[in-house]
Structure 1
Amino acid sequence: MARGFEIVSKYADQGLHLPYRTTKQAAGYDFEAATDFTLPSIWKLNFVKILWQLRHGETSSEADLDAAAKTLKPYLVPTGIKAYMNDGEYLMIANRSSNPLKRGLILPNGVGVIDADYYDNPNNEGEIFIQLVNLGIRDVHIKKGERLGQGIFTPYLTADNEAQVTTTRTGGFGSSGK
């Protein structure tokens, strides 16, 4: 098998669905939430206060800046899914087109990149999480089984003059670099 999806062992008996395409011409496989999840609005914490202070040249305390940074940190919504693929491929995670418009949800980095070696490496089963930030004015309650994002299998190219890479991934989320 060249590429596909599996349910991670933690969710084996939870009734999750593997990602699926909704039409025959759809490029993306829809990912669903593995659990109920609440994404808080960025507007309800210290975010507005910090923006006002920064705009008006007031010095914000280190604690306020830390609180603002925590507020703007994306949430990792579990999917309970892992993906396997060929060398030379990755799974791109993209937002659903309805998320920003209808719910105020964005992927803070635009897209997610799931490398082939994220799957079943020594210290990580490879569960895929979808990073989301809620820009809406209300908290968003996501129900288990709601579609959050889409995954697209994509080939990639490497540079001709690249130094040989010999490092092997041994961890989970964010483990390929600092």
Structure 2
Amino acid sequence: MKRGFERVSSYDPEDVHLPVRATQHAAGYDLFAARDFTLPSIWRGPFLKVLRALRREENVTDAALDDAWAVLKPYLVPTGVKAYMQEDEFVLIADRSSGPLKRGLILPNGIGVVDADYYNNPNNEGELFVQLLNFGIRDYHVKQGERIAQAIFMPYLRADNEQTPLAKRTGGFGSSGK
């Protein structure tokens, strides 16, 4: 087995859709939401209050900035799937073209990178999550089984004379930077 997707064991298999390519020449595999999820709009009170204050060149407290950040913080939408691949590959998670255009949803980091050693990690079994931010005016309700992003298997190259990292992955989402 070179690369592919599997269901995460903590989900009912009937609730999780394995990623699929929509057309014969599609590069990306559509990722589906594993459960219903509401993504609140960023245009909420705390964020708007800070924007108004900044526009008026007023002082903004740390507490107000923290409240605004809580509204702007992306949400992790679970997919219920994990990806296995060769050690010199990664999965690139990208927006679907309809996400920003039709629904106001974006990946705030532009893309996601899932390393080969994320698969079956002890923290979350390697489940793929999609970071989403809703810049639409209304909250957006993601339905279980809705396509939320796409995953593309990609090879990568190593630099000449690199110092081989000794660290092994010890955690789940966002753990390689620790």
Normalising by the smaller structure, the TM-score range is: over 0.9
- 3-state DSSP class of the match of 1:42? coil
Kept in 2: contact 1:16–1:80 (CA 8 A): yes
How far apart are residue 64 of structure 1 and its match?
Answer: 0.6
1:103-128 C-alpha deviation (Å, 9 max, x unpaired): 11000000000000000124440001
How far apart are residue 71 of structure 1 and its match?
Answer: 0.9
Kept in 2: contact 1:121–1:171 (CA 8 A): yes
Q: Which aligned runs of 4 or more in structure 1 are off by greater than 6 angstroms?
A: none
Counting aligned pairs with the same residue, the percent is: 65
TM-score, structure 2 normalization: 0.97
Tell me the equivalent position of 1:35: 35
State the alpha-carbon separation in 1 of the partners of residues 55 and 161 from structure 2.
46
Kept in 1: contact 2:7–2:13 (CA 8 A): no
State the alpha-carbon separation in 2 of the partners of residues 143 and 122 from structure 1.
28
Unaligned runs of 5+ in 1: none
- 3-state DSSP class of the match of 2:133? strand
Tell me the equivalent position of 1:144: 144
- 3-state DSSP class of the match of 2:136? coil
Count of matched residue positions in the alignment of Structure 1 and Structure 2: 178
Tell me the equivalent position of 1:20: 20
Which range is displaced more, 157-166 or 99-108?
Answer: 157-166
State the alpha-carbon separation in 1 of the partners of residues 66 and 84 from structure 2.
37
Code of the residue aligned with 2:88 in structure 1: it is G
RMSD: 1.0
Kept in 1: contact 2:19–2:32 (CA 8 A): yes
Tell me the equivalent position of 2:75: 75
Counterpart mapping for 1:44-123 below 5 A: 44-123=44-123
Code of the residue aligned with 2:167 in structure 1: it is T
Unaligned runs of 5+ in 2: none
State the alpha-carbon separation in 2 of the partners of residues 45 and 118 from structure 1.
37
TM-score, structure 1 normalization: 0.97
How far apart are residue 62 of structure 1 and its match?
Answer: 1.4
- 3-state DSSP class of the match of 2:6? strand
